[in-house]
Amino acid sequence: MRSPVMVGRDADVRRLREAADLVSSGESATVLVLGEPGIGKTRLVSELRAQLRQEGWVVGTGHGVELSGGEVPFGVLAETLRDLVRELGVDEVRAALDGQVTALAPLVPALAGGAAGRGAGGGTDLAQVINATADLFEAIATGRPLCWLIEDLHWADASSSDVFAYVVRSSGAARVLTVATSRPTGDTELFRAPTVDVVELSRLGLGETREQLQHLGMDHPPAILERIAVLSDGVPFHVEELAATWDGTSIDTRFLRRLAGGRTAGLSTPGRELAEAAALAEGHLHPAYLDQLGFDSNVQREVVAAGLLEADPSGEQLRFCHALLREAIEQSLLPADRERWHRRWAEALEDTAAPMSVAARTTALAHHWAAANNPACALRYAAAQ
Ligand SMILES: Nc1ncnc2c1ncn2[C@@H]1O[C@H](COP(=O)(O)OP(=O)(O)OP(=O)(O)O)[C@@H](O)[C@H]1O
Ligand SMILES: [Mg+2]
């Protein structure tokens, strides 16, 4: 289930295109594609790779992988080199390496003559690997432009990251384009290097999300499509996941619960309670109210760091990073807890001054008191609406 059309990324494609054109004309360039999980980093660079290959570029790709037991030194670089060997043939790569085959042979045994060459180069030396790689890229790029694509840089092993940093800082060889994708958790210092163009992928707008759904070519009823569009929050991966759960009658929200479970699992008890309370009060998550509910700024920061809440564009209040997360946490609440939090929200709103319009406050109070099973209070505010 994938949209054959990549929607809403024209400006980002243009930025990549500009970098590629610069490289074609003899310069070097580095682009970092930054964005949250599922936003479309891989999709964007896959389309770039296909296009560059069509134009006669050489593209070598390496992936950072999340390993539970440590990391593979030079893993990303080795994968890139194997990709280049596959594309160009071992003879051309060996010729391009000239006298430096031994520096990279431990990473790619084929370079040293297949199985017999395994270990022929002995250990790896970072400085030698960096030199040999830089020279190799330069030699390949004399023939035709070269793109080094690093996927998921945030998971790249430290030694490959060092090679990448070197290439970026030395602004690389002429006719080499380095493109890396990363979630926003990586080496922020490197991202600020003047030679790096950062392309940050934003969420799709509601119209673009609807367009993506259309391209998935499914016959969901319009109301379901609209619900998916809203719940997905403009993250293309969520659109696909939610749409894929359609069984002819409903969409399956277990996906939402798994997602939320992952984000709340590591929270402290107050952190989890804040998330639960917040799930019932989207639209008025002012820090003053949260303080009143007993969640100090440390707990607030914890929940923000966990990727559950973020500051809204006004900076005055918090909001859920995803509609999905809020809904999932709300669904996981026991009825008694739900009622208790609604009552506490109603009391907090009555007792605390926070920047909220009178109308919004009255509506929120009517809602919280009703859900707290206090119809008398609810009616009082409902009458004032
Ligand atoms: N602009 C888009 N239009 C249509 N589909 C898209 C778009 N962007 C991404 N998708 C689809 O959404 C899914 C997730 O995208 P992708 O794998 O590129 O995300 P990602 O940012 O690389 O995520 P991760 O951080 O997990 O690697 C893919 O199936 C992809 O084809
Ligand atoms: Mg990806």
Pocket perturbation via mutation, ligand 1, pick of 16, 42, 155 by most ligand atoms within 8 A of CB: 42
Q: pLDDT tens digits for 268-305?
A: 999 999 999 999 998 889 999 999 999 999 999 999 98
The angle, 0 to 180 degrees and rounded to 10, between the axes of the packed helices 206-216 and 236-244 is 40
Ligand 1 centre and the CA of 5: distance in Å?
Answer: 11
Q: Does the C-beta of 8 come closer than 6 Å to ligand 1?
A: yes
User: Among the atoms of ligand 1, which is closest to the Cα of residue 36?
Assistant: 25
CA 78 – CA 108 distance, rounded (Å): 6
Of 20-34, 46-60, 250-264, 345-359, the least confident:
250-264
Q: Whose CA is nearest to atom 8 of ligand 1?
A: 40
Ligand 1 centre and the CA of 313: distance in Å?
Answer: 25
Beta bridge partners of 182: 34
Of 210-214, 227-231, 324-328, give the range with the top mean pLDDT. 210-214
State mean pLDDT over 207-223. 90
Q: Would the pTM count as exceeding 0.85?
A: no
In this prediction, residue 203 carries a pLDDT of 95
User: Is residue 41 scored above 50 in pLDDT?
Assistant: yes
Q: Whose CA is nearest to atom 25 of ligand 1?
A: 37
Q: Does the C-beta of 238 come closer than 6 Å to ligand 1?
A: no
Ligand 2 centre and the CA of 63: distance in Å?
Answer: 9
CA 155 – CA 178 distance, rounded (Å): 17
User: Is residue 187 scored above 70 in pLDDT?
Assistant: no
